Structure formats: C-alpha cells, structure tokens
Amino acid sequence: MKNTVIKELQSHKAILEAFPVMNQLRTHLDEETYLALVTEAKEKESYRLFALYDRGEIVAVTGFKPMITLYYGRFVWVCDLVTNSESRSKGYGDKLLTFVHEWTNENGYESVALSSGLQRMEAHRFYEERMDYDKVSYVFKRKID
C-alpha cells in the first residue's frame, strides 16, 4: 500500500478516468450521464469525488457529501464506494473509507452514513465487521412518474 495515493477528482478528464471503476457499481449509467450527474452534484450538493490510485492506476472510488439532518445531525453521506473488481480484497475499500472517516473528523462532522443494496451481503459484512458500522435503518425508495 505504500504506492497508493488518494486524490480528489475535479476536472472533467479526471472524473471520466474514474468512470470504468464507478460503472462497476453504477451499471445503469453511461459516461455522459455519469459526468453530468457528478458535475451537477458537485455544484449543487457539495458532492466530493475521490479516487485511490495504486501505482498511478485508479483502483477504488468514493463519492460523498456533507449533510445536516435532524436525525443524523452533521454527517457525511457516502453516496458511492467501489473497488475495481480486479483489485478487491486488497484493503483498498478499507483505506478509502478510512480516508472518508478522517475527512469527516477534520471537517467538523460527527458521523458517516451510507446505504447498501439488500443483495450486497459481502459489502454488509465489510461495513459491519471490518469497518464497525451499525445497521440503523432501512432505506425506502419510490419512483415518481
């Protein structure tokens, strides 16, 4: 892990370089829609996008945004966290999520929250057993026509 670095992705070029990894989690997005959503979220929602590089190659990506709600107080919501399928189980997800925890603390927020699909049992194990997260609620979604 000594050849790893975490960088915030700010330019369109850098954001697009992360698309192949992000697309492994967000398979419904094409490159154009991904870029438009990231750009809008950065402008309107304080969304931050970071990549973990190993030897110059993106191996994991996270997107998060600081928020304030009555339930959680001041917290960081992890919108996206994905490790390249060819690079899993090497500690990259741990390192990137630990970076989010440190960012949260350094910027005066109190906790980190995230949602994980019901089918992602391996991810749930990672969050609960390895990263010490508590399962506190269900997330419900309704599409509005």
Residue 1 pLDDT level (bands cut at 50, 70, 90): low
- Read off the pLDDT of each residue in 11-36 and give the average, rounded to a whole number: 97
The average pLDDT across 9-36 equals 97
Which tens digits make up the pLDDT trace of 49-71? 999 999 999 999 999 999 999 99
Residue 121 pLDDT exceeds 70 = yes
Q: What is the 3-state secondary structure (H, E, C) of the chain?
A: CCCEEEEECCCHHHHHHCHHHHCCCCCCCCHHHHHHHHHHHHHHHCCEEEEEEECCEEEEEEEEEEEEECCCEEEEEEEEEEECHHHCCCCHHHHHHHHHHHHHHHCCCCEEEECCCCCCHHHHHHHHHHCCCCCCCCCCCCCCC
- How far apart are the C-alpha atoms of 130 and 17, rounded to whole Å? 29
Please say whether the beta carbons of 61 and 18 come within 8 A. yes
Is the full-model pTM beyond 0.85?
yes
User: What is the structure's pLDDT at 138?
Assistant: 83
- Judge whether residue 92 has pLDDT over 90: yes
- Report, as an integer, the average pLDDT of 118-124: 86
Mean pLDDT to the nearest integer, 67-95: 94
Distances (CA, A) of 135 to 80, 114, 122, 127, 131: 17, 10, 14, 9, 12
> Domain 4-130, what architecture?
3-Layer(aba) Sandwich (3.40)
6: which 2 tokens? 């975490």
- Assess contact for 63 and 38: CB atoms under 8 A: yes
